């Protein structure tokens, strides 16, 4: 049995100090991802720093939107009346994830930082560059139905599993991080990494940095937003593909549109090429399909995951065309 040191700091600064300089230390929030990895032997920390009692479990209104504490539970955030009214994509994404019991335990920060569900990453008997850098990628040439179609590398083809992170991407959230050098803010699109030659690094955070909050800004597009998910079964399944979309119209013309995909890449994929192509014109299904086709032009697929191209196209067209006919004041 591996011995663990368990610490329960009383402040965020104390928690950061307890992890910084200790390579075998990690934070413990809801534990829904970490406990799985401990059981599977994927991670073997020697120090757990519990961050559940640091006062990071509140949702506070700000002048421009909301500040969501890192320890806010997924179920509480999904049910928050301001989230449901002003950021419906986030509420829908949270309710699409996991089970009710897990949502009651899982935290905001933990959801953003969860690791891939690639079957090879979770099998400690197989080579995996994400788990053991330089050992190889068993998914390449292996079972590839869930593999990334965008942004993959010769070192890793895994996809990011979070539903919430996809919604946070279209909401242009900002992540508040505390580290040994103090506090900093990370634009959401800069939080997660593509694999490159270092797939073991999921995010741009340094060891010891602690997510303390996520800040959301109100906007017309955020208020008219949604999340749709395609999966193998109706509940408790990770996305084959998913889309978060936000839309603002002036008459029939698009003045703001945001599209992010899940199940497509190593990080939530912000479809900025498609967004630019849709601006300034009417929101019509064929225009959406053409814009998505351009976004997917660099996609690399195999016979096993090629279905994702058609699925991403269809789910994005459906989400946006539904938003276009939905009155903003009815949401």
Which helix (DSSP H) or strand (DSSP E) does residue 60 occupy?
A: strand 59-61
- As a whole number of angstroms, the distance between CA 155 and CA 129 comes to 6
Q: What's residue 122's pLDDT? A: 96
Q: What's residue 330's pLDDT? A: 47
Orientation of helix 307-324 relative to helix 285-295, angle to 10°: 140
* Mean pLDDT for back-to-back runs of 10 residues, the chain (331 residues): 89 98 96 94 95 97 97 98 98 95 96 97 97 97 97 98 98 97 98 98 98 98 98 92 98 97 98 98 97 98 98 98 77 47
Q: What's residue 1's pLDDT? A: 66
- As a whole number of angstroms, the distance between CA 167 and CA 242 comes to 10
- As a whole number of angstroms, the distance between CA 51 and CA 26 comes to 10
| Burial of residue 235, with CB atoms counted within 10 A of its CB: 0-12 exposed, 13-18 middle, 19 or more buried | exposed
Q: Which residues contact 3 (CB under 8 A, 6 or more apart)?
A: 46
Q: What's residue 331's pLDDT? A: 47
pLDDT tens sequence across 39-49: 999 999 999 99
Q: What's residue 235's pLDDT? A: 85
CB neighbours of residue 188 within 10 Å? 22
Which helix (DSSP H) or strand (DSSP E) does residue 177 occupy?
A: strand 174-179
Q: What is the pTM of this model?
A: 0.96
């Amino acid at each position: 049995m591996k011995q663990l040191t368990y610490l329960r700091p009383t402040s965020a600064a104390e928690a950061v100090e307890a992890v910084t300089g200790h390579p075998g230390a990690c934070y413990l929030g809801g534990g829904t991802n970490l406990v799985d990895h401990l059981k599977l032997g994927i991670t073997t920390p020697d120090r757990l720093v519990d961050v559940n009692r640091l006062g990071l479990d509140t949702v506070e209104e700000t002048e421009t939107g909301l500040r969501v504490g890192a320890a806010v539970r997924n179920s509480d955030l999904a049910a928050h009346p301001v989230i449901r009214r002003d950021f419906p994509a986030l509420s829908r994404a949270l309710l699409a994830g996991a089970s009710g019991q897990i949502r009651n335990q899982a935290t905001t920060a933990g959801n953003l930082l969860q690791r891939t569900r690639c079957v090879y990453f979770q099998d400690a008997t197989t080579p995996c560059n994400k788990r053991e850098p330089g050992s190889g990628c068993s998914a390449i040439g292996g079972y590839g139905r869930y593999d990334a179609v965008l942004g993959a590398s010769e070192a890793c083809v895994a996809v990011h599993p979070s539903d919430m992170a996809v919604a946070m991407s279209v909401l242009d959230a900002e992540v508040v991080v505390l580290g040994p050098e103090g506090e900093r803010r990370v634009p959401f699109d800069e939080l997660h990494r593509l694999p490159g030659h270092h797939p073991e690094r999921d995010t741009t955070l340094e060891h010891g940095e602690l997510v303390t909050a996520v800040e959301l800004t109100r906007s017309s597009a955020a208020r008219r937003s949604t999340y749709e998910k395609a999966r193998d079964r109706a509940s408790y399944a990770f996305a084959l593909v998913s889309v978060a979309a936000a839309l603002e119209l002036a008459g029939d013309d698009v003045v703001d549109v945001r599209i992010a995909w899940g199940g497509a890449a190593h990080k939530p994929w912000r479809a900025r090429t498609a967004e630019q192509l849709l601006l300034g014109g009417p929101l019509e299904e064929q225009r959406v399909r053409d814009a998505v086709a351009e976004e997917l032009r660099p996609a690399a697929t195999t016979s096993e995951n090629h279905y994702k191209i058609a699925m991403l196209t269809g789910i994005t067209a459906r989400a946006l065309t539904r938003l276009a006919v939905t009155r903003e004041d009815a949401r």
